[in-house]
Structure 1
Amino acid sequence: MGQVGIIANPASGKDIRRLVAYGTIFDNQEKVNIVRRLILSLAASGIKKIVYMPEYYGIVPGAADSICGRHRPDIEIVQADICLSGTQIDSFYAAEVMARCGVACIVTLGGDGTNRMVAKGCRDVPLLPISTGTNNVFPTMIESTIAGLAAGVVAQGLVTGAPAINPSKKLIIYKNGEPVDIALVDAVVLNDTFIGSRAVWDAERIIKIVVTRGEPHNIGISAIAGNLAPVTPYDDLGLVIEIGPGNLEVRAPIAPGLNEKIPVRNYHYINVDEVIEVAAPCVIALDGEREVEVRPGDDAQIKLTFEGPKVIKAEEVLRAAVAKGYSYRNM
């Protein structure tokens, strides 16, 4: 039987945007509740082993220990062998270890930033992302009971390929000719010279935005694209927006509760494999967090690709599984 990985980020849903905006706090006890239901559904679907990311709160062990004896599943739960740092890099290393040890899918609890780190390490292992972050464009709000059933189906190889499992886009950031980082949703060029506070909420600092996707129902910087020229996750396109005085003004929810008017100088679609030049000096924020400093003299570009992680659509997985008779048997 297939193995499933769980990466639950204890820091997701708690950044500075809770102070400067009006986001809901996803506390870690609620993540324990989510993972408890996830474990039960994985066991019910036939999964016998879970590999999880260790972290300082103990979300997965806490969830497993809180399952009452009557419902306690026959499932092995082991932690990924990583050196715990208590930072976002743990998600990357955990995904890397899980991919190496043969997990067939990874369920994530976090926002866009968590999934960006997981995507850097998961190789070809598909992701089923559950939203527990601030900006939740890449992950989706899904009941973990359903997520666990879908992950179990995929891990056992009962459903493969589209429309249940789909490729995603990503942006590759190059500096002086070398790839240095990625984004799954947006890369935002800021008029800053150092990283400082990581989260982005002040639109006045934005120079340029490059997105893989942006729809009117999104929250975050990609919502500007969504309210200007929407791009879906499945389009062979991205969008570039230059921010500044011009003939357009777009209202968009750039953070929870903050609907801002954004001046737009220019915008245009870009094709897959197209490269956008970035002028130095600046800071590039990736999926909502400042990550890359571009200093005077540096040469920087952003490239749109369709080489992002494979993403599981739980509803399509379960629909296909039921069509194959997964959920019933003849008596």
Structure 2
Amino acid sequence: MSIAAILANPASGKDIRRLVAHGSVFDNQEKVRMVRRLILGLEKAGVTRILYMPDSYAIVPRALNAISPSIPVEAVEMPIRNSQTDTTVAAGIMEILGAQCLVVLGGDGTSRAACKGSTAVPLLPLSTGTNNVFPFMGEATVAGLAAGLVACGRLSRDKCCYRSCMFDVLLDGEVADMALVDAAVYDDVFLASKAVWHMDKVPQLFLTRCSASAIGLSAIGGQLRSIRPEEPKGLALRLGNGSPLVVTAAIAPGMFADVPVTGVTEMAPGEIFNIETSPGLIALDGEREVEIPSGSRASIRLNTEGPLVIDVDRTMALARDEGLFRGPYKKAKESI
């Protein structure tokens, strides 16, 4: 039996950056339509069972109102807390139940929550969030096909996926949390709305990937270097006034910041970078999550054993090369 799993976050694409910046709202009805196409793609690829995360909006049940797949589509049994914990718990349960791929609908934060539950199962993150550096931005139908081919074993994981880097967040030498894209030190003690947009309060920024076309905090590094997700290195930036180097970057949809950069250091796997702010906060993938108590020692470590991510373009190209969706012409039977 080949099992695929769907984790659709009803809260993604609706955070405070819709008020302080100019991001569009990704409504749940569009997620319903995406899930509908995703299920059809998974079924066509040959998946024999689909698991899904239950949620308060009932995204998957609403999607099933308009289609009748020939395979079972079942919710995992779990409490709904309407928080990121739901995604983390669901991912862990799905791994135990034998899911061979996890399709995650959300932004960077939702993808991070899923990876906190499982990094062993191949992940296909589909963009429905605010900052979408980690997720794939594309058509759900094709994403379903790609995820399904991996879940069924019709194509090799090794050929279809890449291993992404991530950050270990250490408090007093122990792993306290993780980040997929960026970790920003925040010189404040209030979690508040969690999202980061006051760059004058960020003295240190750590990035697992950099691209000039990215949005969010990684866009700052993207104006200095290019680092692909699978490359075994990261970038540590020191920020602060008085620097002759100022980077202009889109740190949120429609929001730009001029960020003074005082230092740029390449990060090697396993190398520990100390955080000099205490007390303070660490924002992970754009949201303030970890508190640094007074007197505690916090640090960041680049970990090359991050999630296994399905590359949709690579997977579909391989499916073409192997002729998975080609066959002899079959004449349709004439009705009597």
Q: TM-score, normalised by structure 2?
A: 0.95
The offset of 1:218, in angstroms, is 0.6
Corresponding position of 1:63? 63
Shift of 1:45: 1.5
What does 1:284-295 align with in structure 2 at a 5 Å threshold? 284-295=282-293
Q: Does 1:224 pair with 2:220?
A: yes
SS at match of 1:247: coil
Matching residue's letter, 2:15:
D
Partner of 1:33: 33
Residues in 1 aligned to 2:316 and 2:262: alpha-carbon distance in whole angstroms: 45
Which residues of 2 match residues 1-331 of structure 1 at below 5 A? 1-67=1-67, 72-245=68-241, 246-279=243-276, 280-330=278-328
Q: Residue type of the partner of 2:292?
A: V
Cα deviation digits, residues 189-245 of structure 1 (max 9, x gap)? 011113222111111211100000011111101100001222221222100111102
Distance 1:210 1:138 in 2: 15
Bigger Cα displacement from structure 2, 129-138 vs 226-235: 226-235
Contact 1:96 1:123 (8 Å CA) reproduced: no
Give the CA deviation at 1:328: 2.1
Kept in 2, the 8 Å contact 1:4–1:49? The answer is yes
Gaps of 5+ in 2: 330-336
Query: How far apart, CA to CA, are the structure 2 residues paired with 1:192 and 1:90?
Result: 28
CA contact (8 A) 2:119 2:306 kept: no
Runs of 5+ unmatched residues, structure 1: none
SS state at 1:136 partner: coil
Q: Which residue of 1 aligns with 2:334?
A: none
Q: Find the aligned partners of 1:308 and 1:295 in 2 and give their Cα distance.
A: 27
1:163 CA drift (Å): 4.3
User: What is the CA-CA distance between 1:123 and the residue it aligns to?
Assistant: 3.4
> How far apart in 2 are the matches of 1:56 and 1:149?
27
| Deviation readout 1:88-134 (Å, 9 max, x if unpaired) | 11000000000000000010100000000101112310101110000
Percent of pairs with identical residues: 45
CA contact (8 A) 1:225 1:231 kept: no
The letter of the residue matching 2:285 is D
Shift of 1:330: 3.5
Aligned alpha-carbon RMSD (Å): 1.1
Q: What SS is found at the alignment partner of 2:328?
A: coil
Per the TM alignment, residue 184 of structure 1 is displaced from its structure 2 partner at its CA by: 0.2
Query: Quick one: which amino acid aligns to residue 326 of structure 2?
Result: Y
- TM-score normalised by length of structure 1: 0.96
The one-character-per-residue Cα deviations of 1:257-282 (angstroms, maximum 9, x if unpaired) are 11211111111111111111012221
Equivalents in 2 of 1:163, 1:227: separation in Å? 31
CA contact (8 A) 2:150 2:160 kept: no
Cα deviation digits, residues 27-69 of structure 1 (max 9, x gap): 00000010011111111112121100000001011101122xx
**Cα distance in structure 2, aligned partners of 1:9 and 1:214:** 26
Structure 1 stretch displaced more, 11-20 or 79-88: 79-88
Q: Is the 8 A contact 1:54 1:79 kept in 2?
A: yes
Question: Aligned residues, how many?
Answer: 327
List 4+ stretches of structure 1 deviating above 3 A.
none
3-state SS of 1:103 partner: coil
